[in-house]
């Protein structure tokens, strides 16, 4: 069994506890994330995903239930230590850019953690190289595209060499190119290090990249499993406000047209092969 990195046990959180009409933003949710995994958290807007993110890094504490990080309970004492082990990137590229230039922004977390000057310079350089933003060291944020800003945010997050990278809809405000840049950056980081990635998203492609998907609905954990298991649920997911992979949509439409297929396929290759074997290669 792999080492457990984050675990939530029956966690409930309500924003205004005293207001009885308020339903919990996160209701009795449990899950565990293991070292080196890529976990995607999906769900409609308002389903509690960001609240989960805040609970995982101690911006919020649950009213009931427990959050454990690296096997230790997350509390006031372990908070700052935990945060230095967990890089986080948010949705809005503009609102998390603290530094005046790219390199200042990447250095921000290092400064906060008292990293000595020489090492800072080295780490800033290395982090920017990893996200392919070295040519923009001195650029100011308003001269960068959304995708570039998010890559800088990732560089800032990994500069402390954390174990976990937590992305809260980091791609949702980006154009397709920006999204691809960010996703390939994350993939490459995973290939080079044993970084654990938790990505909150409603982008299908991003969810399909994950090892495991946790699906939220109205504050509850609705389902958990491998992406292909989750998306097999078909219409159920559509009803909950999510997309299905393209190949699956087409499979379903083909079936409606009376074309026989062995299954509703997740990937385009499978679908093409199925069409080939069942209709031509006889």
Partner 1 sequence: MLEKMIFGRFIPGDSFIHRLDARAKLIFVFLFIAVVFIANNWITYAILVLFTFLIIRMSRIRLYFLVNGLKPVVILIIFTFLLHLFFTREGAIIFEWKFLRIYEEGLRQGIFISIRFFVLVILTSILTLTTTPISITDALETLLNPLKKWKLPVHELALMMSISLRFIPTLMDETDKIMKAQMARGSDMTTGSMKERMNAIVPLLIPLFVSAFKRAEDLATAMEVRGYKGGEGRTRYRKLEWATKDTVIIVILLILAIILVYFRS
Partner 2 sequence: MDITLQQVSYAYAKNTPFEKRALYDVDLHIPSGSYQAIIGHTGSGKSTVLQHLNALLKPTEGSIKIGDVEVKAEKKSKQLRKVRQKVGIVFQFPEHQLFDETVLKDIMFGPMNFGVSEEEAKRRAIDLVKLLGLPDEVLEKSPFDLSGGQMRRVAIAGVLAMNPEVLVLDEPTAGLDPRGRKEIMDLFYHLHKEKGLTTVLVTHSMEDAARYADRIAIMHDGKCVLAGTPQEIFSDEVRLMDYRLELPQSIKFQKKVEQMMEKKLPVLCLTEEMLAEELAQFLKKEREL
Which residue numbers are catalytic?
Answer: 169
Q: Nearest Cα to 207, choosing from 224, 190, 193, 185? A: 224
| Binding flag, residue 51, ligand ADP (CB under 6 A) | yes
Considering only residues 35-54, where is the footprint of partner 2 by CB under 8 A? 44-46
With CB under 6 A as the contact rule, which of the stretches 47-55, 77-85, 129-137, 176-184 interacts with ligand ADP? 47-55
Q: How far is CA 228 from CA 44, 186, 210, 231, in A?
A: 19, 21, 10, 5
| Binding flag, residue 99, partner 1 (CB under 8 A) | yes
Binding map of partner 2 across residues 83-102, x = CB under 8 A, - = no contact: --------x-----------
| Binding flag, residue 96, Mg ion (CB under 5 A) | no
With CB under 6 A as the contact rule, which of the stretches 31-39, 40-48, 73-81, 243-251 interacts with ligand ADP? 40-48
Cβ nearer to Mg ion, comparing 42 with 110: 42
Q: Nearest Cα to 228, choosing from 251, 207, 198, 202? A: 207
| Binding flag, residue 236, partner 2 (CB under 8 A) | no
| Binding flag, residue 171, ligand ADP (CB under 6 A) | no
Whole-number minimum distance, CB 198 to Mg ion, in Å? Answer: 13
Q: Cβ contacts of residue 138 below 8 Å, gap of 6+?
A: 101, 102, 103
Cβ nearer to Mg ion, comparing 50 with 199: 50
Q: Which does 95 bind (CB under 5 to 8 A by kind): partner 1, partner 2, ligand ADP, none?
A: partner 1
Cβ nearer to ligand ADP, comparing 15 with 117: 15
Cβ nearer to Mg ion, comparing 172 with 193: 172
With CB under 5 A as the contact rule, which of the stretches 2-10, 44-52, 59-67, 187-195 interacts with Mg ion? 44-52
* Residue indicated by tokens 């675990």: 7
| Binding flag, residue 47, ligand ADP (CB under 6 A) | yes
* Three state DSSP letters for the chain: CCCEEEEEEEEEECCCCCCCCCCCCEEEEEEEEECCCEEEEECCCCCCHHHHHHHHCCCCCCCEEEEEECCEECCCCCHHHHHHCEEEECCCCHHHCCCCCHHHHHHHHHHHCCCCHHHHHHHHHHHHHHCCCHHHCCCCHHHCCHHHHHHHHHHHHHCCCCCEEEEECCCCCCCHHHHHHHHHHHHHHHHHCCCEEEEECCCHHHHHHCCEEEEEECCEEEEEECHHHHHCCCHHHHHCCCCCCHHHHHHHHHHHCCCCCCCCCCCHHHHHHHHHHHHCCC
| Binding flag, residue 59, ligand ADP (CB under 6 A) | no
Residues that bind partner 2 (CB under 8 A): 44-46, 91, 145-146, 172-173, 175-178, 202, 241-243, 246-247, 249-250, 253-254, 256-259, 268, 271-272, 275-276, 279-280
**Chain residues that interact with Mg ion, rule: CB under 5 A:** 50
Contact footprint for partner 1 (CB under 8 A): 57, 59, 80, 83-84, 86, 88, 90, 92, 94-101, 103-104, 107-117, 120-121, 124, 140-142, 156-157, 160
């Amino acid at each position: 069994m792999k080492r457990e990195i984050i675990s939530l046990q029956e966690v409930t959180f309500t924003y205004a506890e005293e207001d009885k009409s308020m339903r919990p933003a996160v209701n009795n949710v449990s899950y565990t994330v293991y070292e080196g995994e890529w976990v995607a958290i999906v769900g409609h807007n308002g389903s509690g995903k960001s609240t989960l993110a805040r609970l995982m890094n101690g911006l919020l504490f649950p009213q009931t239930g427990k959050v454990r990080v690296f096997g230790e309970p997350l509390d006031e004492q372990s908070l700052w230590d935990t945060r230095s082990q967990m890089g986080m990137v948010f949705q809005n590229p503009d609102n998390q850019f603290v530094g005046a230039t790219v390199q200042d922004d990447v250095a921000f977390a290092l400064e906060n953690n008292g990293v000595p000057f020489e090492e800072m310079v080295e780490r800033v350089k290395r982090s920017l190289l990893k996200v392919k933003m070295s040519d923009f060291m001195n650029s100011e944020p308003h001269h960068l595209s959304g995708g570039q800003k998010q890559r800088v945010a990732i560089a800032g997050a990994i500069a402390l060499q954390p174990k976990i990278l937590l992305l809260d809809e980091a791609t949702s405000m980006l154009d397709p190119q920006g999204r691809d840049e960010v996703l390939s950056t994350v993939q490459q980081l995973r290939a080079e290090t044993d970084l654990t990635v938790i990505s909150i998203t409603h982008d299908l492609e991003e969810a399909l990249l994950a090892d495991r998907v946790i699906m939220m609905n109205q504050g509850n954990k609705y389902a958990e499993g491998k992406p292909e298991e989750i998306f097999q649920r078909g219409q159920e997911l559509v009803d909950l406000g999510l997309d299905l992979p393209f190949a699956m949509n087409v499979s379903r439409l083909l079936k409606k047209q009376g074309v026989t297929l062995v299954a509703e396929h997740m990937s385009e290759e499978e679908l093409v092969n199925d069409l080939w074997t069942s209709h031509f290669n006889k």
